[in-house]
Amino acid sequence: MTTTIAPNRTAQNPLTAGQLAPWAPWALLGVSVLIGAAIAGLIAGASDSDFSVVIVALFGFVLYLVSVTVVSQLIEGGRKAADRLVTGLVVGAFLLALIPLISLIVTVVVNGAARFDLQFFTWTMRNVVGEGGGVLHAIVGTVLVTLWAAIISVPVGIFTAIYLVEYGRGALSKAITFFVDVMTGIPSIVAGLFAYALFALFAGEGVRSGLGGAVALSLLMIPTVVRSTEEMLKLVPNDLREASLALGVPKWLTIWKVVLPTALAGIVTGVTLAVARVIGETAPLLIIAGFTTNMNYNVFDGRMMTLPVFAYNQYISPGVQEQAYFDRAWSAALVLILIVMILNIGARVIAHFFAPKSGR
* φ/ψ of residue 302, rounded to 5: 90, 165
How much is the pLDDT for 273? 86
Average pLDDT over residues 282-303: 89
Strand partners, 209: 302
Distance (Å, rounded) from C-alpha 213 to C-alpha 192?
A: 7
Q: Residue 235: name the closest of 268, 271, 267, 273 by CA.
A: 267
Q: How far is CA 36 from each of CA 75, 84, 126, rounded to the nearest angstrom? A: 25, 20, 55
**Helix (H/G/I), strand (E/B), else coil: 209:** strand
Beta carbons of 155 and 350 less than 8 angstroms apart: no
pLDDT at 3 over 80: no
* φ/ψ of residue 208, rounded to 5: -140, 130
pLDDT digits (tens, 9 = 90+) for 104-118: 999 999 999 888 888
Distance (Å, rounded) from C-alpha 345 to C-alpha 342?
A: 5
DSSP 6: P
At 86, the amino acid letter reads V
Q: Residue 69: name the closest of 33, 24, 39 by CA.
A: 24
At 93, the amino acid letter reads A
Other residues' Cβ atoms within 10 Å of the Cβ of residue 23: 9
Average pLDDT over residues 17-24: 80
Beta carbons of 304 and 296 less than 8 angstroms apart: yes
pLDDT at 4 over 80: no
Most distant CA pair in the chain, distance: 113
For the chain, the average pLDDT equals 87
pLDDT at 239 over 50: yes
| pLDDT grade for 196, boundaries at 50, 70 and 90 | very high
- Look up the pTM and report it: 0.79
Distance (Å, rounded) from C-alpha 343 to C-alpha 280?
A: 12
Average pLDDT over residues 168-189: 89
Distance (Å, rounded) from C-alpha 341 to C-alpha 325?
A: 24
pLDDT digits (tens, 9 = 90+) for 118-138: 888 998 888 888 788 889 999
pLDDT at 53 over 90: no
| pLDDT grade for 355, boundaries at 50, 70 and 90 | low
How much is the pLDDT for 358? 56
**Can you spell out the DSSP letters for 279-316?**
TT--HHHHHHT---SS----TTSB----HHHHHHHHHH
| pLDDT grade for 9, boundaries at 50, 70 and 90 | very low
For 73, the enclosing helix (H) or strand (E) is helix 53-75
* φ/ψ of residue 286, rounded to 5: -60, -35
